[in-house]
């Protein structure tokens, strides 16, 4: 089996796109260290010894009408999450400047809800315009389902990347959300790309899905030609339908991330929410195919100290960008 992994690594480096049957066979390998080491070599071959930092500001929280079963912000569940309307320009600008001072170079504004429209969308355009003028940050947006026309307006005010996860594979998606469809998410990615924005698109590990579901998500992301892929590790939240789901084992997470690198060799595959559940093994992820990381606090959970993350990455020998 080790020879099989090495053979696929060579093929990936030569530019070959792995077939489904090769990926399924790769996923049966039990030697996670072998997969991770090979994934690390692929990552360095295509992307160098760098790790990309990004951060988010939760610009509008709670009261979401969608029923995503993992989400603390859904109005369908009693989670005691903070609820507030769109933050003011001054609040967001102050947070953004602080993040920039701490070494963050890419920032996304994230809002709860199916999508942002009306007066709130006008306000967010003005906020992005101000951030573009008053910081050197690369700007991202995560505003839910949007139209092509909205995507164009975001690009016009300085947004360069739009984040919209598939969350899981197409078979499993209906088991975690019923208020919108997988196709709705695909349509948003299409609108974003048509408008000339980069897409940032990944999902969540540990929802109760199978490994095949995860790999189907990776293949969907590959078909969309997405080059920024965040992977969240579910932290079960009290009050949601998944509050009692067994926590996914760290070794399973590391295996999944390594497999994603084989499927998406030239992408930035980034740790997003939940990486603290790996404990010290999160460092192994950076040596197993991960080359991006969401730093600071997340939407509804606490993240890592940014300066400590940068120190850790430099200690591991990475160039932080």
Residue 22 in domain: no
Residue 45 in domain: yes
Number of domains in the chain: 1
pLDDT digits (tens, 9 = 90+) for 3-18: 999 999 999 999 999 9
Residue 316 in domain: yes
Write out the DSSP string of 65-118.
----TT-TTBTTS------B-PPPHHHHHHHHHHHHHTT--EEEEEE-SSB--H
pLDDT digits (tens, 9 = 90+) for 23-71: 999 999 999 999 999 999 999 999 999 999 999 999 999 999 999 999 9
pLDDT digits (tens, 9 = 90+) for 88-146: 999 999 999 999 998 899 999 999 999 999 999 999 999 999 999 999 999 999 999 99
Residue 7 in domain: no
Q: Would the pLDDT of 218 be above 60?
A: yes
Question: Does residue 321 sit in helix, strand or coil?
Answer: coil
Range of the domain at 303: 30-320
Q: Cα 122 from chain centroid?
A: 26
Residue 11 in domain: no
Q: What is the CATH number of the domain that holds 191?
A: 3.20.20.70
Structure tokens at 79: 């989670």
Residue 310 in domain: yes
Residue 16 in domain: no
CA atoms within 13 A on the CB side of 102: 21
Residue 12 in domain: no
Q: Which of 116, 121, 126, 139 is nearest to 54 (CA)?
A: 139
Secondary element (H or E) of residue 295: none
Measured distance CA(215)–CA(190) in Å, rounded: 21
């Amino acid at each position: 089996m080790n020879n099989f992994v090495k053979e696929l690594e060579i093929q990936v480096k030569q530019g070959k796109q792995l077939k489904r049957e090769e990926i399924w066979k790769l996923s049966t390998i039990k030697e996670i260290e072998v997969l991770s080491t090979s994934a690390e070599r692929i990552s360095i071959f295509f992307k160098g010894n760098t790790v990309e930092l990004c951060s988010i500001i939760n610009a509008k929280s709670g009261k979401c009408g969608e029923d995503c079963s993992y989400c603390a912000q859904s109005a369908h569940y009693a989670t005691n999450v903070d609820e507030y309307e769109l933050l003011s320009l001054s609040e967001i600008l102050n947070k953004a400047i602080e993040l920039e001072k701490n070494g963050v170079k890419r920032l996304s504004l994230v809002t709860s809800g199916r999508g942002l429209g009306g007066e709130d969308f006008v306000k967010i355009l003005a906020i992005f315009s101000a951030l573009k003028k008053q910081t050197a940050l690369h700007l991202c947006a995560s505003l839910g389902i949007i139209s092509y026309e909205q995507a164009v307006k975001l690009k016009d005010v300085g947004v360069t990347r739009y984040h919209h996860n598939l969350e899981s594979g197409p078979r499993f998606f209906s088991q975690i959300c019923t208020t919108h469809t997988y196709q709705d998410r695909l349509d948003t990615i299409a609108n974003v790309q048509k408008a000339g924005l980069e897409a940032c698109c990944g999902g969540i590990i540990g929802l109760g899905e199978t490994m095949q579901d995860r790999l189907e998500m990776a293949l969907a992301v590959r078909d969309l030609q997405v080059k920024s892929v965040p992977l969240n590790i579910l932290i079960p939240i009290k009050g949601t339908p998944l509050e009692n789901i067994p926590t996914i084992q760290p070794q399973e997470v590391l295996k999944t991330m390594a497999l994603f690198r084989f499927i998406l060799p030239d992408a930035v595959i980034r740790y997003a929410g939940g990486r603290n559940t790996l404990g010290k093994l999160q460092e192994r992820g950076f040596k197993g195919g991960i080359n991006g990381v969401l730093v600071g606090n997340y939407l509804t959970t606490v993240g890592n100290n940014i300066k400590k993350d940068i120190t850790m990455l430099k200690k591991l020998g990475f160039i932080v960008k």
